[in-house]
Each structure stands twice: as structure tokens, then as C-alpha cells.
Amino acid sequence: EADIYQTPRYLVIGTGKKITLECSQTMGHDKMYWYQQDPGMELHLIHYSYGVNSTEKGDLSSESTVSRIRTEHFPLTLESARPSHTSQYLCASSANPEGVKSYEQYFGPGTRLTVT
């Protein structure tokens, strides 16, 4: 199993609160990703990073922000949570593109966020 961790696993929070979802990996991977997944739907890329101090927005527009100060850490922040943010958030990482295997993305267990 991959060494990528997410906390908390479950979070129920009221509207307007600021939240940070944590993601850490111990594999030394440069690339990290955040996906959003609703039940029965495909994963949508919301943020990614090529390495330290690199962050980019993904395909799906998101009000969240990310930071990459350390290689192993890629937290996602919502300044003011809303019910529309209720979803599962999955973090992933991959190594440098030296070959097919290097494109392997390893996923964390996810954070199930519910905003009431």
C-alpha cells in the first residue's frame, strides 16, 4: 500500500467555517494532486503541483486553495465552507516521468467532507 496519508478521514462542519484538509506522502514524489469525487461520479482534478512552490488549478473549478511549501505536504484549504463543498476529496502523488511506471498515481484514503 502506498505511503500517502490524509487527515481527517471524515469532517462535518458548519457553513462559513475555514477548513484545511491535510495530505502527506513519504515517497519523495514531486507531483501531487487533489481530486474531488461525488458518489457514483468520476474523479475531477481540482489542483496539482509539480513540486515545491508550484501549484496549478485543475480541470474542475474549485473555491479551494492549495500550497506546496514542502515536498511531502500538500494541504487544501477552504476559507469559507458551503454545503456545495460537500464531497469526497482525494489526494494523490506520482514520481518524475522517467517511464510508464513513474506515471503511477498513488491515492490517499480520502477525506469525506460534509458541510451543514
The site for another protein (CB under 8 A) is made up of 1, 4, 6, 31, 40-45, 48, 50, 90-92, 94, 97, 100-101, 103-110, 112
Closest to another protein by CB, 13 or 45:
45
List, as one string, the DSSP characters of 59-104.
SS--S-EE--SBTTB--EEESS--GGG-EEEEEEEE--SSSTGGG-
CB of 19 to another protein, least distance (A): 19
What's the min distance (Å) between Cβ of 31 and another protein? Answer: 7
Phi, psi of 83 (to 5 degrees): -55, -30
Residue 80 or 96: which CB sits closer to another protein?
A: 96
Contact assessment for residue 76 and residue 47, using Cβ atoms and an 8 Å cutoff: yes
Beta carbon of residue 14, minimum distance to another protein (angstroms, whole number): 23
